Amino acid sequence: YDLETLELNPVEVWKAYAPPQGKKKQQLSQQQRKQAQKRSQIPRQQGLEARLIRAIASPKQLQEVMVDFWFNHFNVFDSKGLNRIWVSSFEQDAIRPHALGRFRDLLGATAHHPAMLFYLDNHQNTAPGSPGARGRYKGLNENYARELMELHTLGVDGGYTQEDVITLARILTGWTTDREGKHGDSRGFYFQSKRHDYSDKVLLGTPIPGSGSLEGEQALDLLARHPSTAHYISYKLAQYFVADQPPAKLVDTLAQRFLKTDGDIRKVLKTLFQSPEFWDTQYYNSKFKSPYHYIISAVRATGSKKPKWKTLSGIIRQLGMPIYGCPTPNGYKNTEKAWLSPDGMIRRVSFATALANGNFEQRQPKEKRKPVDAVQLRKTLADHFSDQTKEVIDTSPAKLRAALILGSPEMMYR
- Residues of the chain with pLDDT > 90, as a percent, come to 92
- How deeply is 162 buried, as exposed, middle or buried, from its count of CB atoms within 10 A (0-12, 13-18, 19+)? exposed
Distance CA 233, CA 17 (A): 35
Strand 189-191 and strand 201-203: the pairing is: unpaired
User: What local confidence, expressed as pLDDT, does residue 301 receive?
Assistant: 97
| DSSP 8-class letter at 94 | I
**pLDDT, tens only, 201-231:** 999 999 999 999 999 999 999 999 999 999 9
- Whether 184 has a pLDDT exceeding 90, the answer reads no
Count how many Cα atoms sit within 13 Å of the Cα of residue 35 in the half-sphere of its side chain. Answer: 5
In the predicted structure, residue 116 carries a pLDDT above the cut 90: yes
Residue 25: per-residue pLDDT? 85
Q: What pLDDT is recorded for position 2?
A: 82
Mean pLDDT of 101-122: 99
pLDDT of residue 22: 83
Overall size of the chain counted in residues: 414
Model pLDDT, residue 221? 99
With 0-12 CB in 10 A as exposed, 13-18 as middle and 19+ as buried, what is 358? middle
CA 214 to chain centre: 27
Alpha carbon distances (Å) from 73 to 60, 144, 310, 328: 20, 14, 24, 11
pLDDT digits (tens, 9 = 90+) for 302-359: 999 889 999 999 999 999 999 999 999 999 999 999 999 999 999 999 999 999 999 9
